[in-house]
Structure formats: structure tokens, C-alpha cells
Amino acid sequence: METLEIKNTSQELFLEALKTLVLPPKHAEIQLAYKGLDPYSGVKEGMSNKNKCFSLYKKHGVIPVRIDLQYDHNENIFFPEKSSFFFDGKTSSNKIIQAENECIMQGGKIHTLSFEVGNPAKKGLETFLETELVKLLEQKYQFSEVDIVFSYLDKNCVKPDTNLLYLGRDSLGLGIGQGLEIKDALKLSKWFGKLKNKYDK
């Protein structure tokens, strides 16, 4: 498998990549976080306990919740499918639970919104870009994860192939495997190369 990467990432790069895809996607999952805040930033930045994460959320008016939205192909709309808290109350200390409750009662922005579109994903992705994304960017949400699948290993669309565009922690990557026709693989590679030349300077 050929793997290409762009290290010099930005919100502008992610937006252009999604808007200029040269192949219709089979599956798309895009996650945005308010102000780009990492759900576990307090821990990863070396703070001593998870409780300090919540002080960051309170400061920015963030509710530490993730909401997953699914695309309905028939209605051409995204609907909330499930929600979850970052920290499991059953395994968290009383201090963590209390800090989480304070964030909820304070109110504010939902921290993470995840949009998923099943096969075929072209129309759903267009709907997301035209209706949902504009409003979210205006409200200071930023891309935190992107997974775009271009082919599947089986006809039932159960196992994604290695042909995918993904947003990692430090880069935007493109994996090109064996599941695409050569002309489509070349098209993807050329498209990604143009993005790399523009942004990876």
C-alpha cells in the first residue's frame, strides 16, 4: 500500500480536501471539536489528574459530551443517534463526577460532534458540507478526525479497504491500496499531490 502524508496541516487544508475529492466516497465520518479542544488535553499536557480537564472545559463553556449523528439517505438529513460522556461515571472518582456535573449545569457548547454517512456517501457528504459544516465553523468548531473510505474489501460494504483519506494527530494521510482501478488510484495520488504542494511547505 502507498501512503502519502501532509504534515503542515490546517483547517483550510481539511476543508479543501473534503470539498475537492476526486472520487466519490463510499463512507465518510467527520468529527469536529469545539475550538479544537482535545477531549483529554488536561491529561496529555501533563496535568496531574482528569479533574483539571474540566476546569479547561468550564473556562471555554464546553459540555464534555460527544454526539454522533447519522445521515438518513431517504430524508437527506442528519439525525442524532447517540451521545456519550468522555468519562464513565461508574469508574470515575466523585471529584470527576462532580466536575462533569458542574460543566453540564453551567451549559455551553457540546464538545464533540461526529457525522457519519454510509455507502454511498457522496450525497450525504455534500449535504454535510453545504448545510452543517458552515454553521459549525462559524461557531468555532474545528476538524478533529476525518475518515473517508473510497472502496470496500467485500460487496456487502462491511470491511473498509485500505483506500482512505484520514486525519491523524499530526498529519492528513492518504492510503492507496489494491482495491481501486489503476486510473482511480492515480487520480487520487495526483489530487493529493497537488494539496501537498500547496500546503506542505
Q: Which of 125, 149, 173 is the last residue of a domain?
A: 149
What pairs with residue 84 in β-bridges?
A: 66
71 and 122 part of one domain: yes
136 and 54 part of one domain: yes
135 and 156 part of one domain: no
Q: How many domains does the chain have?
A: 2
**Residue-number span of the structural domain to which 161 is assigned:** 1-23+151-201
Residue 32 C-alpha cell reads as: 469536529
128 and 167 part of one domain: no
Please check the confidence at residue 95 and state whether its pLDDT lies above 50: yes
107 and 8 part of one domain: no
Direct distance between the N- and C-terminal alpha carbons of the chain, in angstroms, rounded to an integer? 25
The model's pLDDT over 151-161, given as tens digits with 9 standing for 90+, comes to: 877 766 666 66
141 and 160 part of one domain: no
pTM: 0.87
123 and 36 part of one domain: yes
